[in-house]
Structure 1
Amino acid sequence: MKVHKIIPCFTLILALQGCSPKPPEVTFDPPLPDQFRENNQFITTSQSQVDLSFWWEQFNDPLLDDLIEEALKLNFDAQLAYEKINEIRCAYRISKWKYAPSGGMTGFAQRIRRSDDLLRIENPLKTSNATIPTTNIPFRDIPFDEIPFDQDDFIPRYQNFLFLGFDASWEIDVFGRIASGKKAAWQTMQVAIENARDVQVIVIAEVARQYVEILALQERIQVAKSFITSQKEILGLAEDLFNAGLASDTDKTQAKALLDTAQASLPPLENGLKQSIYQLAFLLGRMPQDLFERLAEKKELFSAHDKVPVGIPSDLLRRRADVRRAERELQAAHTKIWIAKTDIFPRFFLTGAIGRLADSGHALLKDENTLWAFGPYFTWPILDMGKILANVDAKTSQQKQALINYEKTVISSLKDVETSLVGYGEENERYKYLNDQVNSEKKLLKLSLELFQSGLTNFTDVLQQEATLLTNEDTLVQSKEQVVLNLIALYKALGGGWEVNTKAIGAKTIERAHFVEDKVEPDDTIYYYEEE
Structure 2
Amino acid sequence: MKSLTLAPIAFAIMLSGCAVGPDYQVPTTNLASEYLFQGAEGTQAKELNLDNNAQHDTWWHGFNDPVLNKLVVDAQSQSISLKIAAERIKMAQSYQTAIESFKVPTVNLGAGFGNYQISDNDPLLGGAITATNPLTGKELGLVDDNKSAFFAGATIAWQADLFGQIDRQANAAAIRKQQAEIMRQGLTTLITSDVIHNYLQMRGAQERKHIALNTVADQQRTLDLVKLVIKSGYGSKLDEAQAKAMLAATQAVIPQLEIAENVHKQRLAILLGETPKQVMKRFTQTSTLPSFKGVIPTGLPADLLTRRPDIKIAEREMAALNQEHGAAIAAKYPKVYLTGSPGVLAKDFDDLFSSDSVSWLASVGVSWNLFDGGRGDAMVDLQQARFDASVLKYQHTVIAAFGEVETLLQGYGHSQQYVRLVSEAEAETSNAVNKAKSLYKAGLTDYLSILDAQRQHNLLKDRVVAAKLQTAHLTIGLHKALGGDWQQPQQG
TM-score, structure 1 as length reference: 0.85
Spell out the pairing of 1:447-486 with structure 2 (5 A cutoff): 447-486=435-474
User: 2:485 and 2:288 mapped to 1: Cα distance?
Assistant: 25
Equivalence for 1:55: 59
Instruction: Check conservation: 2:168, 2:324, Cα contact below 8 A.
Output: yes
State the 1:404 CA deviation: 1.5
Spell out the pairing of 1:53-452 with structure 2 (5 A cutoff): 53-118=57-122, 120-121=126-127, 130=135, 132=137, 146-147=138-139, 149=140, 151=141, 153-156=142-145, 158-160=146-148, 162-359=150-347, 361-362=349-350, 364-365=352-353, 367-384=355-372, 386-452=374-440
User: 1:231 and 1:454 mapped to 2: Cα distance?
Assistant: 19
SS in 2 for 1:265: helix
User: 2:372 and 2:66 mapped to 1: Cα distance?
Assistant: 64
1:33-85: per-residue Cα shift (whole Å, max 9, x none)? Answer: 11111232332212454732221111111211111111111112211112211
SS in 2 for 1:121: helix
User: 2:131 and 2:119 mapped to 1: Cα distance?
Assistant: 22
Instruction: Check conservation: 1:54, 1:497, Cα contact below 8 A.
Output: no
Instruction: Check conservation: 2:419, 2:467, Cα contact below 8 A.
Output: yes
User: 1:269 and 1:123 mapped to 2: Cα distance?
Assistant: 98
Q: Note if 1:505 corresponds to 2:490.
A: yes
State the 1:368 CA deviation: 4.0
User: 2:37 and 2:127 mapped to 1: Cα distance?
Assistant: 100
After superposition, the Cα gap between the structure-2 partners of 1:82 and 1:122, relative to the gap in structure 1 and judged at 3 Å, is closer
User: 1:204 and 1:436 mapped to 2: Cα distance?
Assistant: 33
After superposition, the Cα gap between the structure-2 partners of 1:255 and 1:80, relative to the gap in structure 1 and judged at 3 Å, is same
Equivalence for 1:141: none
State the 1:293 CA deviation: 2.5
User: 2:300 and 2:227 mapped to 1: Cα distance?
Assistant: 64
Instruction: Check conservation: 1:227, 1:470, Cα contact below 8 A.
Output: yes
Q: How many residues align?
A: 485
1:499-524: per-residue Cα shift (whole Å, max 9, x none)? Answer: x26xx2389xxxxxxxxxxxxxxxxx
Instruction: Check conservation: 1:23, 1:180, Cα contact below 8 A.
Output: no
User: 1:330 and 1:125 mapped to 2: Cα distance?
Assistant: 73
Which residue identity is paired with 2:432?
L
Question: Bigger shift: 473-482 or 383-392?
Answer: 383-392
Same amino acid, percent of matched pairs? 26
State the 1:280 CA deviation: 0.8
Unaligned runs of 5+ in 1: 133-145, 508-532
After superposition, the Cα gap between the structure-2 partners of 1:371 and 1:396, relative to the gap in structure 1 and judged at 3 Å, is same
State the 1:324 CA deviation: 0.7
User: 2:298 and 2:144 mapped to 1: Cα distance?
Assistant: 89
User: 1:130 and 1:369 mapped to 2: Cα distance?
Assistant: 39
SS in 2 for 1:405: helix
Instruction: Check conservation: 2:35, 2:406, Cα contact below 8 A.
Output: yes
Question: Bigger shift: 268-277 or 446-455?
Answer: 446-455
Which residue identity is paired with 1:53?
D
1:390-428: per-residue Cα shift (whole Å, max 9, x none)? Answer: 111111111112111111111111121112112212222
Q: CA RMSD in A?
A: 2.5
State the 1:265 CA deviation: 0.4
State the 1:109 CA deviation: 3.8
Unaligned runs of 5+ in 2: none
Question: Bigger shift: 314-323 or 459-468?
Answer: 459-468
SS in 2 for 1:419: helix
After superposition, the Cα gap between the structure-2 partners of 1:476 and 1:362, relative to the gap in structure 1 and judged at 3 Å, is same
Equivalence for 1:38: 37
Which residue identity is paired with 1:244?
S
State the 1:104 CA deviation: 0.5
Which residue identity is paired with 1:102?
T
Equivalence for 1:529: none
State the 1:100 CA deviation: 1.4
State the 1:130 CA deviation: 3.5
State the 1:175 CA deviation: 1.0
State the 1:125 CA deviation: 5.6
User: 2:261 and 2:240 mapped to 1: Cα distance?
Assistant: 33
After superposition, the Cα gap between the structure-2 partners of 1:344 and 1:77, relative to the gap in structure 1 and judged at 3 Å, is same
User: 2:317 and 2:376 mapped to 1: Cα distance?
Assistant: 22
User: 1:440 and 1:368 mapped to 2: Cα distance?
Assistant: 108
Which residue identity is paired with 2:441?
Q
Question: Bigger shift: 284-293 or 29-38?
Answer: 284-293
Instruction: Check conservation: 2:151, 2:344, Cα contact below 8 A.
Output: yes
State the 1:298 CA deviation: 2.3
Equivalence for 1:524: none
Which residue identity is paired with 1:44?
Q
Which residue identity is paired with 1:37?
L
User: 1:404 and 1:219 mapped to 2: Cα distance?
Assistant: 47
TM-score, structure 2 as length reference: 0.91
User: 2:61 and 2:218 mapped to 1: Cα distance?
Assistant: 37
Instruction: Check conservation: 1:55, 1:496, Cα contact below 8 A.
Output: no
User: 2:414 and 2:338 mapped to 1: Cα distance?
Assistant: 70
Instruction: Check conservation: 2:41, 2:412, Cα contact below 8 A.
Output: no
After superposition, the Cα gap between the structure-2 partners of 1:124 and 1:91, relative to the gap in structure 1 and judged at 3 Å, is closer
Equivalence for 1:527: none
Instruction: Check conservation: 1:88, 1:188, Cα contact below 8 A.
Output: yes
State the 1:94 CA deviation: 2.3
State the 1:27 CA deviation: 0.9
